Structure 1
Amino acid sequence: MANTKQQAEEKIQAMPEQKKEEILDSFGRFQDYLADKIKKGEKVGFSEEQIAKGAERVAEYLKNHEEPKNTEEKLLQEMWKVADDEEKHQIAHVLVKLAKKEGN
């Protein structure tokens, strides 16, 4: 698990700063980015649970390394900070559902 978490963090850190800024600039772009990653994950056979775990890793990275760029991201960050592990897992599932809905 720690290895997977470390790999996810390294992948995000390797992303060019300009690309991160484009993704995080608006909540709609962030949702589009998540929807694209979800579709790719589903194509290779990831379950919704695996995708939600990935969403948790991304959210944890964002909480620790990025400043929110809009009110939606700020709300998510604040919710993430106060949530326990089970609540974070549920938030990740909701984010996956939301991104899938918006991505269709």
Structure 2
Amino acid sequence: MSVLDNFDTWKDFLGNRLQQAQNNGMDEGIMSTIAAEIGDYLAANVEPKNDEQRLLADLWHSADENQKQVLANTMINLVKNKNAH
């Protein structure tokens, strides 16, 4: 099973990677840039496997570069807030 098969599993995976990056001293700006690059890659190369991913892909494809960065930052906040609760 891939981490992309289930949205909650995907969020857990992202949250764990975010925590590792923070623990290793990665700057939030760099994390934000990397998140947008991952979004570009996924949108171009990975078929959405569930409704949540389909929505994110649709939003990504309709967004300009600034909006994509906001979506990437929103995903970072989503997994940060999930880990904080």
Same fold (TM over 0.5): yes
1:52 to 2:4 alignment: no
Q: Could you tell me whether the CA contact under 8 Å between 1:31 and 1:103 is conserved in 2?
A: no
Partner residue of 1:78 out of 48, 55, 58: 58
Give the partner amino acid of 2:6: S
Gaps of 5+ in 2: none
Does 2:27 match 1:38? Answer: no
Once the two structures are TM-superposed, the CA of residue 31 in structure 1 deviates from its matched residue by 0.5
Post-superposition offset of 1:103: 2.6
The residue aligned with 1:98 is 78
- TM-score when normalising by structure 1: 0.76
- Give the C-alpha shift of residue 59 in structure 1: 0.9
Give the letter for the 1:95 counterpart: M
**Scaled by the length of structure 2, what TM-score is found?**
0.92
Q: CA RMSD in A?
A: 1.1
Deviation, structure 1 residue 27: 0.7
Query: Any runs of at least 4 consecutive aligned residues in structure 1 with deviations exceeding 2 A, and if so which?
Result: none
Residue ranges of structure 1 left out of the alignment (5+ in a row): 1-20
Deviations 1:40-97 (A, max 9, x none): 1101111222111111111111111110010000000000001001001111111000
What SS does the corresponding residue of 1:54 show, helix, strand or coil?
helix
> Is the contact made by 1:25 and 1:70 (CA closer than 8 Å) also made in structure 2?
yes
Q: State the distance in 1 between where 2:18 and 2:36 align.
A: 13
